[in-house]
Amino acid sequence: MSEPLGVGSPLPDIALTTPEGGTVKPSDFAGRKLVLFFYPKDDTPGCTTENKDFSALADDFAAAGTALLGVSKDPPTKHAKFIEKHALAAPLASDAEEGGLSDALGIWTEKSMYGRTYMGMVRTTYLVGADGKIARVWDKVKVKGHADEVLAAAKAL
């Protein structure tokens, strides 16, 4: 397991799978700001709220010259259903491959609940500058008010 990458580090350029079955990678956003928000699982209460909050602000992020991309380990078909069910405007991508972007960032890690240990995604958001370097990291994100805070940071960058 790698240490989480921090501010000033270049974002690893690892491809993710889109709900349509294509790929997207951080370098596709070169020259503009990018918010990558990693969340544990589609259609769970906190993750649904987080995705809806970012989607509600999608036009504001676009006006701030900032692309959005939500990422989890869920398969692309599940993302497609999740997007449709909640009319999400923020694009999603799947990071299901072993050694993927969440592994490289150090946020796919061992967790425990009720005495059971398992691998899981640490809810983390990265604001990446137009230069491809990490400008800000929010780790162990609390969902309430988070999208607004990230938007303010994106506008200030």
Q: How far is CA 34 from CA 85, 110, 135, in A?
A: 25, 27, 10
Q: Is 45 a catalytic residue?
A: no
Q: Which two tokens stand for residue 67?
A: 């692309």
Contact 141, 125 (CB under 8 A): yes
Rounded to an integer, what distance in angstroms lies between the CA atom of residue 76 and that of residue 19?
4
The dihedral formed by the CA atoms of 57, 61, 67 and 72, expressed in degrees to the nearest 10: -30
Longest dimension (CA), the chain: 45
**φ, ψ dihedrals at 38, nearest 5°:** -95, 135
Strand, helix or coil for residue 33: strand
Q: Which residue in 5, 14, 34, 47 is the catalytic one?
A: 47
Number of neighbours of residue 7 by Cβ within 10 angstroms: 12
For the annotated catalytic residues, the residue numbers are 47
